[in-house]
Amino acid sequence: MKVIDSHTEGEPTRVIMEGGPDLGSGPLSERLKRFQSDFDAVRSFAVNEPRGYDALVGALLCEPHDPSCAAGVIFFNNGGYLGMCGHGTIGLAVTLHHMGRIGLGLHRFDTPVGIVSVNLLSAHEVQIENVASYRTREKITVDVKGLGPVTGDVAYGGNWFFLVQNSPFALDMKNINALTHAAQAVSDALAEHGITGTAGEPVDHIEFFGPPVAADAHSRNYVLCSGGAYDRSPCGTGTSAKLACLAADGAWPPEQDWVQESIIGSRFIARYRLDAQGAVIASIRGRAFIVSEANLYRNPLDPLADGLR
């Protein structure tokens, strides 16, 4: 399997260029189901130890179903599959440019949850326009083991998030373990209370917010991803969900930059517009850099041939 690794504001992406599973044709949503049901061992092989690590997000490059798109992509991680991935889309655009497959300017990528617009501004900087984001539940409180009552919003930005405005711990790297345990406890409480997305999907991303460190930023976040690792970037789908909440509250106007810091201090510059139906369409701008090209090998005699699951 031939892969190219990059990082987007600190968060890694591994693009499978060759050697991935043949998922056939059809909409990306159907091919994701085929990937999950028939080829899940390939997902584990590509991102889990000993070839990968918990923070790594995989991106299977596919032929798009929509002929207007430059590429199709299915995102996944150590825990399963993602509808969309903001940092991964930025990383994919930089990777395809690195390979000479796309030039600077506007492109469209086909994903399982819809088409994402991509503006490759330079070899390393990308602005994406996400699928529609929205909030479904506001200021709901759950009793969380070890934390007590925790209040947050349920929102969608390509994945499902529970957004907590006041982080239970200071958003500092020294608190990573405490933040991770707290976020996992919140995730467990949501599952116990039956709090889901609109079609029963697990709310599998937890996002804590606090004040920024940089004077020109608006917020700092910690995001626990669905596989149990924290996002090193400010999280593109999580920032989209945040903008949906701000828009619903009338707390931030359209077409104005919102600077979102990550737990490591990297940043996305985000804004939103309202489409003809009034839906929040978020755009996220960030940087990605290629870090390696590699061949991954599978030996059937290896007891961990399909990765440490």
Residue 30 CB neighbour total at 10 angstroms: 14
CA distance 270 to 221: 14
Is the bond into 300 cis (omega within 30 degrees of 0)?
A: no
Q: How far apart are the first and last CA of the chain?
A: 19
**φ/ψ (deg, to 5) at 249:** -85, -10
CA distance 153 to 220: 17
To the query of whether residue 235 is one of the catalytic residues in this protein, the response is: yes
- SS3 category, 142: strand
Which one is catalytic: 69, 225, 235, 245?
235
The residue behind tokens 């930059």 is 257
In the chain, count H helices and then E strands: 5, 15
To the query of whether residue 85 is one of the catalytic residues in this protein, the response is: yes
Which one is catalytic: 62, 69, 85, 225?
85
> Is residue 209 a contact partner of residue 196, using CB atoms and an 8 Å limit?
no
- SS3 category, 108: strand
Residues assigned a catalytic role: 85, 235
